[in-house]
Amino acid sequence: MMAAKATERMAGCRNVLAAALLLTTVSAFPRWQYEEAGSELLPPPARAQPEKFTVAPSMIVGVLNASPAVLEENGEFVKVSWHGVPGKNGTMYWIGMYNVDDDVTVVAPIKYQSVGGRYKGTITFQVVNPRKDTIFYLFQNDITSAVLVSKSNVVKFKNPNMPTGGRLAYTSKQDEMLVSWTANSVGGDSMMVQWGRTQDVLNMQAAVQVRTTYTREDMCGGDAAGKGFRDPGMFYSALMKGLEGGEEIFYRVGSEASGFSKVQSFKMPGPGSSSKISFFCFRGPGDACPGRECAVL
């Protein structure tokens, strides 16, 4: 019985890895770009020990401000300003980005930046739509034994349901293209891809064929099932058929309930095309974070 459960567990882990590889297929939407800033070497969020974090008995009010408070697009930048930090006796501070419903004593920050002992200043974070509201916290001490001392205003996306993370994949048929994306469950039953030969006329559509996700229980243990886990959203896939070789296809994904992505395009390979297809693997979190902004990748 135990052997059967272990086998089932390993199969689940392999399925999660396969899903991760699928998600790295040709990117169709803008992706997060790592911000290089300086030569400071910060430990990655994976080194955080949130179980050792504490919350100050009295929070410092009005120290942090995040602007803008409402974001229009995925991947926009937010400026976080602080003032009044008592940087004395070599005390160090850092600012972490979290989902607003995160418990800082349970999960690691999504990303963070050190502000040293500076009394005031401004730093910039790039915010990828987590389908939840975002908040920034000011901590004292390093990420192994931090004390939460202040918090910012809440930052919202105008449409948290917007489709993100679009990717394309060939199928075994030359006239097809599979498009996949990430969103939440809002409008899930009516999710679709719309496409056409011009940007202004998307006169064909196909309903979602696959809708799936993974949970904490699907992970293989460790940080992935603990302090590093966050709801990944829902993964949708729909199939475009009847495409002709060499033509440019314009498309968008989503639903009336969730909203649609911006119109993107791709060019189908021509007859007898020998174009190379590349793919890559990734792992996370990393072992070090060169630069000022350190994130779970």
CATH of 41-158, one of 2.60.260.20, 3.40.190.150, 2.60.40.2840, 3.30.420.480: 2.60.40.2840
Amino acid 160 reads: P
Q: Which part of the chain is CATH 2.60.40.380? A: 161-267
Rg of the chain in Å (alpha carbons)? 22
CATH of 161-267, one of 1.10.10.60, 3.40.50.300, 2.60.40.1180, 2.60.40.380: 2.60.40.380
Q: Supply the pLDDT for residue 277.
A: 65
Q: Supply the pLDDT for residue 273.
A: 63
Cα dihedral angle (214, 210, 169, 200), rounded to 10 degrees? -120
Token pair recorded at residue 187 = 């409008």
Q: Cβ-count burial of 53 within 10 angstroms (0-12 exposed, 13-18 middle, 19+ buried)?
A: buried
Angstrom distance (rounded) from CA 149 to CA 83:
13
Looking at residue 175, what DSSP letter applies? T
Strands 156-157, 70-71: pairing is parallel
Q: Are 266 and 168 in contact (CB under 8 A)?
A: yes
What global pTM score does this model have? 0.76
Q: Which part of the chain is CATH 2.60.40.2840? A: 41-158
Angstrom distance (rounded) from CA 222 to CA 52:
17
Q: Consecutive 10-residue runs of the chain (297 residues): their mean pLDDT?
A: 45 43 34 34 80 87 90 94 73 91 93 86 92 94 90 94 91 94 84 96 95 91 87 94 94 93 91 66 51 53
Q: Supply the pLDDT for residue 224.
A: 83
Q: Supply the pLDDT for residue 292.
A: 55
Q: Are 134 and 75 in contact (CB under 8 A)?
A: no
